[in-house]
């Protein structure tokens, strides 16, 4: 019996050994397979990680490009710094800063010829002093009592503007609805010469133009997500200038702007807020410019809004005349009769001249006094000289201008510009000339 039990035990052990061997063999295969799967998974994870990093890099670069394209325009500063690499006398490179200065030289005209704030028009009505081939209405916004003229697609003109003097300023406020699309063309201001005021203004549409005019177009959004402006001039049915540029003063983010135009004979300067956008010396021809129009284009629901329109006669461009042409002549410096006492009404002109000379210390001038023919020639000669000296004294006392930069001459009545037979002629002959000289 014991022998039988022993055989059974041995048999069980043998069978168990074979089972264990098979089990261990299977286990070995499982471990091997698991190890292989682990290695493959790690390789896949590393590959996925590298791929993900590569994709992130590409996507982030794309986001940076998009973010740059949609970035909010920086506030403009009239002083811009640019880094420039220079080499000193020893051959050593160093970084220097070039400073670019821009002069905020716009001055509103003082003698108002036309002004419209739409205060006399009912909300929802088209203003009675305007004309159009379309439709518009006076509106207000919820947060402001300012009245605006909401423009639809078409041409508009204020009947009250019948002249654009050779020296004048034209100003207005402008804004646009939030849904403006860059496919739309914007708003155009036209300064034009018309014969028949009832219909000629309609020639200046989006796709047509009259014989003589200047066209300023403003668009708050283009494909670069910036503001856009263009200037075109027409002389005798010929397009002379056609230029376009971007700006950051009038955009969908900065969607309200004060527009200022300054005409000085043939010259036109255009400002958006305090930034000069255009300065064109030959914008106007010899035609009689006597009207302005606005024309707009866009999809349904888009609107431009105009307010606070103002046209005024401006003073002569003293700064430009003196610095660029070398001569400035004025009849606006007045004295007490037969005296050298300067009238207070003359201080504005003298102060502008003083600022110009103070800002340009390399400029020296000759001050030349002239009189009319009243009195003796000898007395007028002395008086004109003393008046020129009085102007020199005023400038040197009120501004940092060295006396040696100003020379004085009196020419009395010897060089009239017109006849002294009338009071108007005498007033023109009583003048002061400022001529740039080299010392």
What's 224's domain CATH number? Answer: 2.60.120.200
Is there a contact between 114 and 161 (Cβ–Cβ < 8 Å)?
yes
Residue 140 backbone phi and psi in degrees, to 5: -130, 160
Q: Among the three residues 313, 329, 349, which one is the final residue of a domain in this structure?
A: 313
User: What tokens were used for 115?
Assistant: 């002004």
Distance CA 265, CA 180 (A): 35
| pLDDT of 8 higher than 90 | no
* pLDDT mean over 178-194: 91
Is there a contact between 184 and 114 (Cβ–Cβ < 8 Å)?
no
| pLDDT of 57 higher than 50 | no
Q: What pLDDT, on a 0 to 100 scale, did the predictor assign at position 182?
A: 79
Q: Among the three residues 274, 297, 313, which one is the final residue of a domain in this structure?
A: 313
Q: What pLDDT, on a 0 to 100 scale, did the predictor assign at position 439?
A: 74
- Best-predicted range by mean pLDDT (51-65, 120-134, 169-183): 120-134
Distance CA 373, CA 414 (A): 9
Give tens-digit pLDDT for 365-394: 999 999 999 999 999 999 999 999 999 999
Residues 177 and 122 in one domain: yes
DSSP conformational letter for 335:
B
Q: What pLDDT, on a 0 to 100 scale, did the predictor assign at position 282?
A: 94
Residues 269 and 295 in one domain: yes
Q: Name the pLDDT band for 50 (thresholds 50, 70, 90).
A: very low
Residues 207 and 305 in one domain: yes
SS3 (DSSP) at 73: coil
Looking at the DSSP assignment, which residues form a beta bridge with residue 16?
Answer: none
Q: Report the mean per-residue pLDDT for the chain.
A: 81
Nearest to 353 by CA among 386, 410, 399: 399
| pLDDT of 36 higher than 70 | no
Q: For 47-51, 271-275, 301-305, which range has the lowest pLDDT when averaged over its residues?
A: 47-51
| pLDDT of 65 higher than 60 | no
Residues 124 and 230 in one domain: yes
Nearest to 410 by CA among 389, 435, 436: 389
Q: Into how many domains does the chain fold?
A: 2
Distance CA 357, CA 403 (A): 12
Residues 179 and 252 in one domain: yes
Give tens-digit pLDDT for 263-274: 988 999 999 998
Residues 261 and 195 in one domain: yes
Other CB atoms within 10 Å distance of the CB of residue 161: 20
Question: What is the domain-level CATH number for residue 373?
Answer: 3.30.1330.60
Residues 308 and 343 in one domain: no
| pLDDT of 220 higher than 70 | yes
Domain range for residue 350? 318-437
Tell me whether residue 127 is in a domain: yes
Residues 297 and 150 in one domain: yes
| pLDDT of 338 higher than 60 | yes
Give tens-digit pLDDT for 86-103: 444 444 444 444 443 444
Angle between the 347-359 and 377-398 helix axes, to the nearest 10 degrees? 60
Q: Name the pLDDT band for 348 (thresholds 50, 70, 90).
A: confident
| pLDDT of 222 higher than 80 | yes
Q: 47 or 114, which is more confident?
A: 114
Residues 198 and 323 in one domain: no
Q: What pLDDT, on a 0 to 100 scale, did the predictor assign at position 277?
A: 95
* pLDDT mean over 181-207: 92
Residues 133 and 236 in one domain: yes
Question: How many Cα atoms occupy the beta-carbon half-sphere of 18 within 13 Å?
Answer: 5
Question: How many Cα atoms occupy the beta-carbon half-sphere of 184 within 13 Å?
Answer: 26
Q: What percent of the chain has pLDDT over 90?
A: 61
Nearest to 280 by CA among 214, 220, 344: 214
Tell me whether residue 71 is in a domain: no
Q: For 74-83, 93-102, 391-400, which range has the lowest pLDDT when averaged over its residues?
A: 74-83
| pLDDT of 20 higher than 60 | no
Residues 354 and 263 in one domain: no
Name the helix (H) or strand (E) containing 118: none
| pLDDT of 71 higher than 50 | no
* Residue showing tokens 């050779």: 166
Q: Among the three residues 249, 282, 313, which one is the final residue of a domain in this structure?
A: 313
Q: What pLDDT, on a 0 to 100 scale, did the predictor assign at position 274?
A: 85
């Amino acid at each position: 019996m014991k022998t039988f039990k022993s055989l059974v035990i041995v048999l069980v052990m043998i069978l168990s050994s074979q089972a264990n061997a098979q089990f261990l063999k299977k286990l070995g295969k499982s471990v091997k397979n698991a190890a292989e799967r682990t290695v493959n998974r790690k390789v896949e994870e590393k590959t996925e990680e590298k791929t993900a990093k590569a994709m992130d890099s590409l996507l982030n670069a794309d986001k940076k490009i998009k973010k740059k394209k949609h970035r909010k325009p920086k506030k403009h500063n009239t002083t811009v710094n640019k880094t420039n690499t220079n080499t000193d006398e020893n051959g050593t490179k160093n970084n220097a800063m070039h400073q670019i200065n821009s002069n905020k030289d716009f001055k509103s005209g003082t003698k108002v010829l036309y002004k419209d704030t739409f205060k006399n028009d009912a909300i929802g009505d088209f203003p009675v002093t305007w004309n159009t081939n379309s439709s518009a209405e006076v509106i207000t916004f919820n947060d402001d009592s300012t009245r605006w003229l909401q423009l639809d697609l078409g041409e508009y003109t204020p009947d009250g503007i019948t002249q654009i003097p050779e020296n004048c300023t034209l100003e207005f406020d402008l804004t646009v609805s939030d849904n403006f699309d860059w496919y739309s063309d914007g708003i155009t201001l036209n300064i034009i010469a018309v014969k028949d005021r009832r219909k000629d203004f309609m020639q200046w549409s989006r796709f047509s133009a009259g014989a003589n005019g200047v066209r300023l177009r403003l668009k708050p959004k283009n494909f670069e997500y910036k503001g856009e402006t263009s200037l075109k001039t027409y002389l005798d049915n010929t397009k002379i200038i056609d230029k376009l540029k971007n700006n950051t003063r009038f955009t969908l983010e900065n969607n309200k702007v004060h527009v200022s135009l300054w005409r000085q004979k043939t010259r036109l300067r255009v400002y958006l807020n305090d930034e000069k956008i255009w300065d064109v010396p030959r914008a106007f021809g010899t035609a009689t410019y006597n009207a302005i129009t606005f024309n707009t284009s866009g999809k349904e629901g888009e609107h431009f809004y105009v307010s606070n329109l103002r046209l005024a006669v401006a003073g002569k461009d003293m700064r430009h005349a003196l610095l660029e042409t070398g001569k400035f002549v004025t009849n606006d410096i007045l004295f007490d009769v037969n005296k050298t006492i300067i009238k207070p009404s003359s201080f504005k002109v003298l102060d502008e001249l003083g600022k110009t000379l103070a800002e340009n210390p390399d400029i020296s001038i000759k001050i030349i006094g002239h009189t009319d023919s009243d009195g003796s020639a000898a007395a007028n000669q002395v008086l004109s000289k003393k008046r020129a000296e009085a102007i020199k004294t005023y400038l040197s006392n009120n501004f940092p201008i060295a006396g040696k930069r100003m020379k004085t001459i009196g020419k009395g009545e010897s060089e009239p510009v017109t006849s002294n037979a009338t009071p108007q002629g005498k007033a023109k002959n009583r003048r002061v000339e400022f001529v740039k000289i080299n010392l």
